[in-house]
Amino acid sequence: MSALPHVIDVTMQNFQTEVGEKSRTTPVLLEFYAEGAEQSAALTPVLVKLAEHYAGKFILGRVDIQENQQLVQQLQVRTLPTLKLVFQGQLAQSLEGPIEEATLRELLDQVTMSPMERIREEIDRLLGIGDREGAMAMLQQAIGEEPKNYGLHTELCDLLIMAGRADEAKQILEAIPADAEGIAKPRSRLEFIELAGELGAPDVLQAAVAEDSGNLQARFDLAIALIVNDQIEPALDQLLEIMSRDKEWSEEAARTTMIKVFDLLGKGNPVATAYRRRMFTLMH
């Protein structure tokens, strides 16, 4: 088990170095277990999966209670399963009995999320309920507190563009570094809006494609219109269709446009991941 990344065996002898010292910078979740115990067998795979998912944001420290009775007594472990979260050298949380994975994720998020991640999570929540103005207000407040955090500026630019305030977004983009975190996203959105120009509504363009399925320019125009109308997957389907018919069409416009859409969606987006694979398969 200890051969897995971010998973260690904890004993009385290494507790100070592996838990006390490491927890000052990285949370350590202690799992007290017993070989062959039904409770441990159920929980351990969940903990290992979380350790892999969080990829070093926390350390899973496994304590065999049969081999570490002194440690069990000192930390007052009375039952299985028992988990203890140690952070910044202090015991932060203690959990006993059956524990749901969702509960564990909530606990780990509290101690592993960066301030920027917390802001983005709250922004996603606000956007999810349709409160774009609230999300922009939150970003503006965060920028006031961290004016040099240019990732916040680019997030705000993207929301401004979506709200039809492209001129304000352009002013911000001109004032921040060209390599600011996330800057490709609002830039790509602006480019798509400019490309859309006088193309017309997606349903009109869809009719043109239906009338002549081999008209790649009509397909491309439809894809751009769909992107601007936030219909990302149908747009990507059109771009893939263009590639399947002619990869070189208009200097590989379909491929380069798909890459810009991936920038728009952001790192880790499942739609971007799925369509990136499909594009790669088509190219090779």
Contact 184, 200 (CB under 8 A): no
3-state secondary structure of 223: helix
Q: Using pLDDT thresholds of 50, 70 and 90, give the confidence band for residue 256.
A: very high
**pLDDT tens profile 143-190:** 998 899 999 999 999 999 999 999 999 999 999 999 999 999 999 999
The answer to the question of residue 191 being in a domain is no
Please report the pLDDT score of residue 36 as a whole number: 85
Residue 135 sits in a domain whose CATH number is 1.25.40.10
Residue at token pair 């606990």: 107
Domain-terminating residue out of 62, 89, 112: 112
- Interval 208-236 mean pLDDT: 95
What DSSP designation does 26 have? Answer: S
Domain-terminating residue out of 91, 112, 133: 112
**pLDDT tens profile 34-74:** 988 888 888 999 999 999 999 899 999 999 999 999 999 99
- DSSP letters of 47-101? HHHHHHHHTTSSEEEEEETTT-HHHHHHTT--SSSEEEEEETTEEEEEEES---H
Please report the pLDDT score of residue 3 as a whole number: 60
- Interval 129-145 mean pLDDT: 93
- DSSP letters of 98-127? ---HHHHHHHHHHHH--HHHHHHHHHHHHH
pTM: 0.63
- Interval 104-127 mean pLDDT: 87
Question: 59 φ, ψ to 5°?
Answer: -110, 135
Structural domain tally of the chain?
3
Output the average pLDDT for the chain: 92
> Which residue segment(s) compose the domain that 91 sits in?
7-112
| Residues comprising the chain, all counted | 284
Domain-terminating residue out of 112, 127, 157: 112
The answer to whether residues 100 and 50 belong to one domain is yes
- Interval 227-244 mean pLDDT: 95
Q: Using pLDDT thresholds of 50, 70 and 90, give the confidence band for residue 116.
A: confident
Question: 31 φ, ψ to 5°?
Answer: -110, 115
Distance CA 45, CA 47 (A): 5
Q: Using pLDDT thresholds of 50, 70 and 90, give the confidence band for residue 1.
A: very low
Distance CA 195, CA 186 (A): 14
Residue 84 sits in a domain whose CATH number is 3.40.30.10
- Interval 217-236 mean pLDDT: 95
